[in-house]
Amino acid sequence: MASAAVHQSQSSKTETYTDNKRKDDIRQTSIVAGKSIADTVRTSLGPKGMDKMIVTGSGEVIITNDGATILNKMEVIQPAAKMLVELSKSQDIVAGDGTTTVVVIAGALLKKCLFLLSSGIHPTVISDSLHKASQKAVDVLTSMAIPVELSDRDSLVKSASTSLNSKVVSQYSSLLAPLAVDAVLSVVDSIKPDLIDLRDVKIVKKLGGTVDDTELVKGLVFDKKVSHSAGGPTRVENAKIGVIQFQISPPKTDIEQSIIVSDYTQMDRILKEERNYILGMIKKIKATGCNVLLIQKSILRDAVTDLSLHYLSKAKILVVKDVERDEIEFITKTLDCLPIANIEHFREEKMGRADCVEEVSLGDGGKIVKITGIKDMGKTATVLVRGSNQLVLDEAERSLHDALCVIRCLVNKKFLIAGGGAPEIELSRQLGAWSKVLQGMESYCVRAFAEALEVIPYTLAENAGLNPIAIVTELRNRHAQGEINAGINVRKGQITNILEENVVQPLLVSTSAITLATECVRMILKIDDIITVR
């Protein structure tokens, strides 16, 4: 009887035993991979952060400290680590700035999750607690935010400057920040004032000069020369501009075939027909009063030939050829005109008007075509970015894009918040106090979330060459005394009221960073197996 009982207890033990070691190993591998990605970009956080030199497989060299760019160029194999790369892309889409911050926060949360898991807390409990903590964090950040009006240009410039201060081109922030603000405000539509489409701000890069030569052009800029031959015009005033999508060249046969002409008189006749065909088209164009032609690039045949350029120059029509297909929408919106697909549809009412179209020489940088003084100009803006070499030029474009995104965030959600690690340390303090009210495992998880947020001020201090432990401890004390805007002033190497130092950022950047980082960590936590399908 006794032996039967022992046997039964042994069999029941065998039935209930499950091996969770593999699941723990998979989860741990995913978390460690995510942490390593975060550690890669952590050194590039903040105004004193380091830059990364990225060498692509084709030998292209990129120097940047933009988190989204660094992660996008990395070849990540581990599936969970790829989630952090996607996380950075998501932040770039939502806010445009804070791409490094969101990955660093996610890395710190993963590190805390590893500790909680080793303490025996179930992943689902941790996941639910992190979700509650992130919701509470967003409420705290919203209560700290300062409302801002779009008419307050100084506040907008300060926000753009803060995003530029951590970039390679930070010394030019005093030029690029106001330029970004003016560009975004010029494309705000009164019908939909909260929606900004950054495709309405075109960035044209031109090698040569320095970043100081960057300018906002109220009009259009083409990174190419005027297609002139036989002394065609390079400057036209009171321009009537036609945007055409057809070719001013001899027609082709509908099917692929060759025609052999052996008789010279027949050859002369063909050439004469071609001349008459082109001349007829140009006469129709000239009859409408058009004096500037923007010709879309053609994949079928040459958009213009030497003969048609010769006749166009005789007709005193300025020609810009090889306009890219995807630029047509922006051009027509700016000029308030319609693209013309057929010579028979060429009408005066379909053209745009401008005070001046001219070819401008940029010294060693070559030439560009500028269209200024556009009548009834659409809600668009063009920024001409200059740089002494391709690396600076590309980084200036990326930095300017971040600044434009920051202003777009403020148009969408008109609230500012302090920078310099101030919101993170305040969140850490308030969530730490809230965790004491909670009960059970939830309390431990929320406290871990609060501690993880201290990674931002800690990293800012570390990258600036300060003593991170001393700085974060003092920062914590200042916030405990009620100084919610106390932050790390990396230029002075001490803690100051960061709002007085004009270090501000949009509320949307901070809230989306916390929310997206938490979502990503929760997803990684819930992974207990990786299944490869071939």
pLDDT tens column, 170-219: 888 889 999 999 999 888 887 777 778 888 899 999 888 888 889 999 88
Give the pLDDT of residue 22: 65
- CATH 2.60.40.10 assigned to domain 18-147+418-526? The reply is no
Q: Tokens representing 514?
A: 């916390």
Among 15-19, 235-239, 501-505, the least confident range: 15-19
Lowest mean pLDDT among 85-89, 151-155, 328-332: 151-155
Per-residue tokens: 397 = 């474009």
Integer Cα distance of 186 and 411 in angstroms: 12
Query: In whole angstroms, what is the distance from residue 399 CA to residue 388 CA?
Result: 16
Q: Higher confidence at residue 368 or residue 194? A: 368
**What is the Cα–Cα distance from 312 to 297, expressed in whole angstroms?**
17
Query: Which residues are bridge partners to 204 per DSSP?
Result: 384
Tens-digit pLDDT profile for residues 289-326: 898 999 888 876 777 888 888 888 888 889 888 888 88
Q: Where are the domains of the chain?
A: 18-147+418-526, 219-376
* Cα gap 156→154, rounded to integer Å: 5
17-31, 174-188, 357-371, 420-434: least confident range:
17-31
Catalytic center residues: 66, 99-100, 402
* 30: pLDDT strictly greater than 70: yes
**pLDDT at residue 277 is higher than 90:** no
The answer, yes or no, to whether residue 473 has pLDDT greater than 60, is yes
- The secondary structure of 375-426 as a DSSP string is TT--S-EEEEEEESSHHHHHHHHHHHHHHHHHHHHHHHS-EEEE-TTHHHHH
Q: How would you write 37-95 as a 3-class SS string?
A: HHHHHHCCCCCCCCCEEEECCCCCEEEECCHHHHHHHCCCCCHHHHHHHHHHHHHHHHC
Whether residue 89 contacts residue 525, with contact meaning beta carbons closer than 8 Å, is answered with no
Select from 462, 483, 517, 412 the least CA-distant residue to 192: 412
Does the structure show a pLDDT above 60 at 7? no
Residue with tokens 């791409």: 99
- pTM of the predicted model, to two decimals? 0.81
Is pLDDT of 285 > 80? yes
Please report the pLDDT score of residue 75 as a whole number. 85
- Distance, CA of 318 to CA of 266 (rounded, Å): 33
Q: How far apart are CA 354 and CA 371, in angstroms?
A: 7
What element of type H or E holds 102? helix 99-118
- Residue 328: CB partners within 8 Å, gap ≥ 6? 243, 245, 296, 339
pLDDT score of 504 more than 60? yes
pLDDT per position as a tens digit, 50-86: 888 989 888 888 888 888 888 888 888 888 888 999 9
| CATH assignment of 219-376, among 3.40.50.1260, 3.50.7.10, 3.30.572.10, 1.10.10.10 | 3.50.7.10
List pLDDT tens digits, range 88-137. 999 988 888 888 999 999 999 999 999 998 888 888 999 999 999 999 99
Tens digits of per-residue pLDDT, 207-260? 888 888 899 998 899 988 888 776 778 888 998 999 988 888 877 766 677 777
Percentage of the residues of the chain whose pLDDT score is greater than 90: 25
Residue 450's pLDDT band, with cuts at 50, 70 and 90, is: very high
Quote the pLDDT of residue 11: 45
pLDDT at residue 390 greater than cutoff 80: yes
Burial pattern 72-95, b for ≥16 Cβ within 10 A else e, equals: eeeebebebbbbbbebbebbbebb
CB atoms within 10 A of CB 306: 10
Would you place residue 511 in the very low, low, confident or very high pLDDT band (cuts 50, 70, 90)? very high
List the structure tokens of 464: 């600036």
pLDDT band per the 50, 70, 90 thresholds, residue 21: low
Q: To the nearest 10°, report the CA torsion of 492, 406, 458, 45.
A: -90
The mean pLDDT value for 370-393 works out to: 89
Confidence at residue 343, expressed as pLDDT on a 0 to 100 scale: 87
Which positions ≥6 away from 315 have C-beta within 8 Å?
282, 285, 286
- CATH topology identical between 18-147+418-526 and 219-376: no
> For 246-250, 495-499, 522-526, which range has the lowest pLDDT when averaged over its residues?
246-250
pLDDT at 520: 92
Choose the most confident range, by mean pLDDT, from 191-195, 224-228, 365-369, 493-497. 493-497
